[in-house]
Structures are given as C-alpha cells and as structure tokens.
Chain A
Amino acid sequence: MSVSLEKGIHALKEVIDAPIASYFESCVHCGLCAEACLFYTETGDPKYTPIHKLEPLRRVYEQEYTLLGRLKKMVGLSKPVTDAELDQWQELVYDSCTMCGRCSLICPVGNDIVYMVRKLREGMAVSGHVPDGIRSATKRTVELGGPMGLKWPAVANVLRKAEEATGLKIPVDQPGAEYLVLLSSMEIVNYPEYIEALAKIFHKAGISFTLASDAFEATNAGIQIGNSDLAKVIVSRIVDAAEKLKVKKVLSPECGHAYMAIRWEGPNLIGRPFGFEVVHVLELLDELRQKGVLKMKDKLKDPLILHDPCQIVRRGGVLQAPEPLIQQVAENYIPIVDKQKWNWCCGGGGGASAIHTEEAEALRAKVFQIKKRQIEEAGVSTMVTFCANCRIVMEEGFDHYEMNTKLLGMTELLAEHLEN
C-alpha cells in the first residue's frame, strides 16, 4: 500500500461517525437517489447513482467498524480499497458530483448522501485523487489568497473603478464597521457590478461597511477539494480579519460555496463558534426590503424565472429571501415547478466548474439540459440567480446550446432598479 493511500484510508477512518454508519446500514439499494441527481437523469448512466459514488467509503466503514466486516477482512474475504479504484472514483466524486444535496432530500430511509460525499473527499484529497483543476485552485487560494490567483492590488484597482462609477467611497480596513464585506474572485473578475451594487445599497441604507485587504476572498477551495486542514487555513483569514477589525457581521457574497464555507463549515473548521454573525447578502437585502429601505424606482418587465443556488438555498437555508426579493424588482416572475430547496443544480458546483478536462466539460454540457428544459418549459428568456459560479456555468451552457437567455445577478438587478 502506498503511503498516500494509507493516509487516505486513515482519513476516511477518521471521518466515519455514527450518522455515516447509520446511513450505510439503512441503504436498501432502492436507487431512488439516482432520480434526484442530474448526472443520472440527464445521462441515464447508473454509475452516477449517488449512493454508488460512496462505495470506497462504505467498504472502509464495513471493514473497519463492523464485526462481520473485520472478520471477513481477517480471513481475506473482503476487497480492499486500492489506488486504482480511488483513481476510477475521482470522476464520480468530483466531476459528476456538485454536492448539490438533492439526493439527501429524496432518500426514503433518510440518508444524508451529500454529507458522506463531503467526507469521502477528505480521503480522496489526502490520497491525491483529485482533479488537477481543483488542486491548482486550492493551491492558489492558499498561496496567493484566491482560487483565481487574484492579489490585493488587482482588487484595490477594481474597488477604485467602482468608486469612480458610483461616486461613493468604499472603505478598506476600517475598524468598527458593522459589516465586513467578502467577495468571490469570480465576482471581482467577471461581475464587478456586484461591488458597485453593494456600495449603492449600503449607502442608501446608511449601514457602515468595510473590506479587508488581507481577507477579501470568501470562497474556500479547501472545502471543495475536501481538505479540512487547508479549509481551516483559508477560513481563519476571514475570522482573524473580522476579529481584528471588530466588525459585528460578516457579509457573505452571493457565491454559494463561499456561504457554506464561512457560515456553516467555518466554526466547525476552527473548532469554536464565531464572535460575529455571518449574513448572506440576500438575507441583508431582504431585511432592508422588510424595513422599507429597498424601494424600487421601476420594475423589470421581462418574464423571468429564478435559479436557486444549491449551497445558498437547499443546503444553506436562505429559503425565504429570494422570492420576495425578485417580486420586489420583477413584474413577471414565474415560479417554476422545482424551485427553492427542490431546484436543480447548474451542474458546476462543488468545484466541478474548475475541472477543465474534455470529459468533465462534455458532461457539464450534457447535464445542463435540465436547466435548458426548465427555461424552455417556463417559456422565458431571462433567468435571475445569486451565485457567481452558477452564473459562469450557466452562461457556458447557454453558449453551448446557443440559447438566447439573459442571465442576471439578483443584487445587481436590485441595485439597478433602486430608487435614487
């Protein structure tokens, strides 16, 4: 057994807990989780059945933690987990799982399958069975500060431009502000309008905020790759900055995995509760809407549907804010059948969008058919969402299918129609 494999199996032994044991013991192979997974529904290939993606973890559980499994292992009747097998599983655990968590809502015996995928990734990461795209994104986040290798001077430049465009001051490293604003690299590079939108809204609401030059990146590639040690390093930057600046709240950007990382995994990674509150930007906007601060000068007329990002809605619990917010700014919002916590993933979450092999990209395009169908069935040409990663993935999908769909970011849309 190679050293890395040994480490990987050790990592898997470490993550197995009572819920995982209970889940594996409860599975009756009914296969219903397949019907919840877009990688199965769009390809029809049974290897994408969610519970099957966990087979290496299941065997480690059986062989290490059950009496019968240990007996079988002793007499050589069990099949050990090998490097070759994990290598084969890499596609199932990364390329074809976006950790969207839809399967966890479907399983009739109640298995939280996505919880187990997250745990299996710990072993995959340690044993070196990780797609290059995610590996290098993680390396850049640890060494340079963000998954795209973006450094502070470049961010400062974008902020300066936003200040010029809005005529508003964007404070940096300002102690005592109410909010520490986090960004995701994708927003900084691809959607700088988000920053302008935020500045306008904060100004309008009269809320103090700041950015931190040593902690601007909210995404956490450590979580996507499945390495808790790296994830802890990345999240600690934010915690340190928030505590140093003595802010009351930290504002998570639209980005889904960023929210998951800081709001839900963060305290567990550093091993203590935070001394500040973590708020998703949509929660803040909805609060402002309820207070009557978020008044619109006009409304968007185009019929549109909403894409609820998995990590913010289904897995993050921001369930109630999106619909009232879109109704605030859109006249013809059309609710779709599978909405809110039942929404279908864009196909590129959980780090999948960072994998640029030919196979992974072809698979992403294929599973995008489910989003295409949702748009076509609603008969709209506009979709609104609130996750920078979903946006990039879906724009790639529109290009691939040569669709004429306009994709808008919720925060920018609100800012654009905000009463002056």
Chain B
Amino acid sequence: MNELQFLTWVRGPGLDIAVGIFVLGVVWRLFEIYSLGRKKDLSTPRHAAGASGLHTVFRRSLPPPGMLKRSPVSYIGGYIFHIGLAIVVFGFAPHILLVTNLTGLSWPGLPSQFVDLVAVVTMAAMVVVLVDRINKPAKRFLSTFEDWFTWAVTFLPVLTGWMAVQHLLLPYTTMLALHILSVEILLVVLPFTKLFHAFTLFGSRWYNGRANAQRGVPV
C-alpha cells in the first residue's frame, strides 16, 4: 500500500468503520448506563433557589471556592485544552468542509494562523496536565493504563494535524493520512473508555444536582 492508497483507505472504508463503531458504541453505552433507572425519592422535597439538576450541569463547569488555589493546573490546564480542542476541531476550515460534505451543515471557520496557535497552546496544556498527572500523588495513584492511553489517543490527532499543516517530518499526504487514522482511533476508543465522560458528564451532574435539590442544597 502506498501513501495515496493509505489516504484513500482512511478517507473511505476506514472512516466508515470508525464512525460506525463510534455511533453504535455511543448509542449502546448510553442505553447500557441510563436504562438501569433509579428509584423515586419518597421524602418530602425542600425547595431552595439555585438547587436543581440543570443548575448543577452549568455550575460544575466552574471551580468550587478554594479549589482553583488547591489545584490550579487541573483547572487552568483543563480549561485550556478542552476549549482548545473545541476550537481546533470545529473552527478549522478544512474540518468544517468535511462536515459540510457529510451533512450539508456549514459555519464560518477561524483564520488558520489562529487555529495553528490554538493547536500549539492545546498541546502545551496537554503536556502540562500529563506532567501534573505524574507529579500529583492522588492523580498518579489513580492512574491506570487507560489514563495514559486515552491521553495519547487525544493528543495524537492534534499533533499529526498540526504537523500535516506545517509540513513537518513526513510528506503531507502521509501525515494527513496518519492524522485521519489517529482521529479514527479516537472515535473507536471514545465510547469504551473514560473519554465517554464527554457524554455522561451531563447526566452525572444532573443526577447529583437533582438528588441534592431534593434536600434543598444547591451543589
């Protein structure tokens, strides 16, 4: 297989397989989790302002009092790489073009030099949170193979994409093919690892907020 055949495969059958596993995986996992249901709370609720599932969905995006100081890298690094990923994925013109070709949806892209800068900042933030994972006792203690693996799987698409645009190391075609392949690996892995928090986080925050709202505590 030469590099052009490689690129053709990742753009065609490769992408179909990855998107297929991703979509089926997400649907299955969501079913598996949320079909378990829960018991109704029979206690008489206490009402309090700001206490509800929805409030918690939004409130948990901000650091609780004192926590920014206790773990600045988690919060600042976390914000930067999450927002950075969103900008790179949804703001880069060629990505939008791909979505437009697949679904017909379209939105204006960001200047490529800006996206370029964001990609570098995102990678830097990811390296910093990785170092923090190694340095902080609680983080290191909790870490399993999955934590290192999912970090790599998230980092590689950004790195390969940036390198393709910069024409670094390998010919553009090969790097682009590697970039698409790395995204496909990410899609396949996402529903079955901790990366699935991208979906369940909303449910988790809502359940927690709802349960505490019953007792009148905004959490």
Q: A interface vs B, CB < 8 Å?
A: 16-23, 25-32, 34-36, 40, 44, 46-47, 49, 51-52, 65-68, 104-112, 115, 263-268, 271-274, 277-278, 314-317, 319, 337-338, 341-342
Contacts and interface: CB of A to CB of B under 8 A. Distances in A.
Contacts of A21: 32-34, 36
Contacts of A20: 36
Contacts of A110: 56-57, 60, 201, 204-209
B28 interface: yes
Residue with the highest number of chain A CB atoms closer than 10 Å, among B48, B56, B197: B197
A194 to B, nearest CB: 24
Interface stretch (B64-72, B100-108, B155-163): B64-72
Contacts of B35: 18
A324 to B, nearest CB: 16
B147 A264 contact: no
Contact of B200 (A17, A26, A264, A277): A26
Contact of B36 (A18, A35, A107, A112): A18
A319 B205 CA distance: 21
12 contacts: A17-B36, A21-B36, A22-B33, A29-B142, A46-B140, A46-B142, A67-B32, A108-B74, A108-B78, A115-B211, A264-B214, A273-B44
A109 B137 contact: no
Interface string B43-75: 110101000000011001101111100110010
Given A111-B208, A112-B208, A115-B208, 20 more contacts: A18-B34, A20-B36, A21-B32, A22-B207, A27-B197, A29-B142, A30-B78, A35-B70, A46-B138, A47-B141, A51-B142, A67-B28, A104-B208, A105-B64, A109-B205, A110-B57, A110-B209, A263-B43, A266-B43, A273-B43
B43 A25 contact: no
A105 B137 contact: no
Given A26-B204, A110-B206, A317-B217, A65 B36 contact: yes
A289 B215 CA distance: 22
A17 B38 contact: yes
Contacts of B32: 21, 65-67
Contact of A105 (B138, B200, B219): B219
Task: Report, nearest first, the 6 A-B pairs whose CB atoms are least far apart.
Answer: A110-B205, A46-B141, A31-B138, A317-B216, A34-B138, A317-B215
A109 B28 CA distance: 21
B167 interface: no
B140 to A, nearest CB: 7
Contacts of B194: 25, 27-29
B69 to A, nearest CB: 10
B209 to A, nearest CB: 7
Contacts of A278: 44
Residue with the highest number of chain B CB atoms closer than 10 Å, among A30, A34, A273, A314: A30
A20 B211 CA distance: 12
A131 B78 CA distance: 39
A21 B36 CA distance: 8
B29 interface: yes
B142 A52 contact: yes
A279 B10 CA distance: 64
B147 A19 contact: no
B114 interface: no
Given A35-B67, A35-B70, A23 B204 contact: yes
B138 A337 contact: no
Contacts of A273: 42-44
Given A17-B38, A67-B28, A49 B211 contact: no
B215 A264 contact: yes
A384 B67 CA distance: 26
Contacts of A268: 39, 41-43
B37 interface: yes
Contacts of B149: none
B139 interface: yes
A109 B36 contact: no
A279 to B, nearest CB: 11
